Structure formats: C-alpha cells, structure tokens
Amino acid sequence: MRLRIDLAYDGGAFHGWATQPGLRTVQGHLEAALATVLRLDRIDTVCAGRTDAGVHARGQVVHCDVAESHPQLQRRLNGVLPSDIHVSRVSEAPPGFDARFSALWRRYAYRIADRVDLVDPLVRSHVLVWERELDLDAMNEAAQHLLGQQDFAAFCRRRVGATTVRTLLDLHWSRSPEGLAVADVRADAFCHSMVRSLVGCLLAVGEGRRDVAWPAAILAVTERDASVVVAHAHGLTLEEVAYPADDELASRAVTTRAKRDG
C-alpha cells in the first residue's frame, strides 16, 4: 500500500531535502525514522518538491510504499524524528497517487523585513532582512511579465536532461499584517533555485536598481544570467501542494511525467 505523509521542517540545519552521503538532510532523517519504526533495512520516499539547503516547509508531501498499514505511525515517527521535522499526517494514499507527479501546483512564500522596525530576532531564521524599503507595486508590475508557460532557464540551475519549461501561475507581493514584504509564488513545478532567482531579480526592481522591464528581458535570454542574484535560502518556505480529485491522480501523474521527460 502507498502512504501519504504530510510534514513540516525548519530547513536551517539541513543540506536540503535530498539524501546526500555524510550530510544532514530531511529525506535522510525521514527515511531513517521510517526504517526504524517499521523495522526495515531501508525505505524509499518521494517528495512533492525537493527543497534546497536552508529552505523550510510547512506543506511538504511525501509518499512511500509499505507492505501493510501501521497504526499510530504519525505518533511513532514524531517520537523518533529530530525536533526540526514534524509529521502532521499519515494516511493511506488513493490509487494512482504520486507525491511528485500527481501534484497540480506548489506554492512557496518568501518573507522579507525591509524596514528597521520590522526586524525581529525571533523570526530571523525564516525572514530575510533587507536594508532598503521595497516598492512592491513596481515588483508586482515586473512580475506580471513572468507569468504563464515559459522557459525559465535564465532563473534555473540546469540539471542534465531536465526541462526548464514551467507554468508560473502566480507571483504576487503583498504586506503581511506585521508589515513584512511577502511573495506568494505558485507554479505547476519549479526547477532548481527558480523561486530564489525570481525573488532576487525582483528585489533589484523593488529597490530601484533595475526598471520593471528588466526581469522580462532576462527571461527572454533563456540561459542562466550572472546578473541575477539568488536570494538567500532562509526566507523561503514551501507552503502548500495541491492535487486533483482522487479519480484524476493517475492521469495527472502520467501527463506530468511525460512533460518532465520531454
């Protein structure tokens, strides 16, 4: 049977999601905890979005395959996992569910304290401190030209054989109730460093160093541009992953897999 695991983590002390020999990773800890609780030599997991080193998650989704159901698995996992990872739910996945390929979209948030009165040491691990106040209207105007299906090669670190074409559904800046500048970024999927590169590009617009047309000009080049600064990882959080109705999960996975392999 396939299990769906929903979890959150503080990414500050992890070298990203994916297992790497000799390094502390979220996947490494989760798979070790599952193997311990289920008394297996090893177990493989698949996540909805492979977060980079230092990136956080509130809404990460994972699947794994097991021989049988295991009552109290959520409680038992949380008893084994370190305190910077928390499993919020474990459930039997519907037929055809794939945490990665069945997803309709992922939503990230990037948080910035861009005024001195907004700087709070208690949230420094997940909010970027920026010395100059940002013009969110200019950033939103620039962001509109990045929406839709595009080749985001200029904003991605390429992986061999992987496509950089993505559909950016939303990229909008607003103020939180506390006054933080928050980017909500939603796409069918993201390539490596894409969100942080988009944020870094728009920061240049927001502080007046570049005009609102600059991000679209960068996008049109369709190759990595050294002038785009990748924003720091700690301001970024994976907030939510959306899936279709249960009877559409399998077909969505087939469609997405074909698109990623193409």
pLDDT in tens, 161-174: 678 999 999 999 99
**pLDDT category of residue 226 using cuts at 50, 70 and 90:** confident
Would you state the structure tokens that stand for residue 174, as one six-digit string? Answer: 């607003």
**pLDDT category of residue 179 using cuts at 50, 70 and 90:** very high
Catalytic residue among 10, 52, 114, 135: 52
Q: Give pLDDT, residue 126.
A: 97
Q: Give pLDDT, residue 260.
A: 64
Q: What does the buried/exposed string (b/e) look like for 196-224 if buried means 16 or more CB atoms within 10 Å of the residue's CB?
A: bbbbbbbbbbbbeebebebbeebbeeeeb
- Mean pLDDT, residues 248-253 taken together: 96
The answer to whether 106 touches 189, Cβ cutoff 8 Å, is: yes
What count of other Cβ atoms lies within 10 Å of the Cβ of residue 31?
19
pLDDT in tens, 72-90: 999 999 999 999 999 999 9
- Mean pLDDT, residues 215-224 taken together: 90
User: 52 an active-site residue?
Assistant: yes
The answer to whether 13 touches 24, Cβ cutoff 8 Å, is: yes
The answer to whether 90 touches 125, Cβ cutoff 8 Å, is: no
| pTM (two decimals) | 0.95
Q: How far apart are the first and last CA of the chain?
A: 29
**What whole-number percentage of the chain has pLDDT above 90?**
89
- Mean pLDDT, residues 95-111 taken together: 98
DSSP for 169-209, please give it.
Answer: EEEEEEE-TT--EEEEEEES---TTHHHHHHHHHHHHHTTS
Q: Give pLDDT, residue 262.
A: 47
Question: Tell me, what DSSP letter sits at residue 69?
Answer: -
Measure CA 38 to chain center.
28
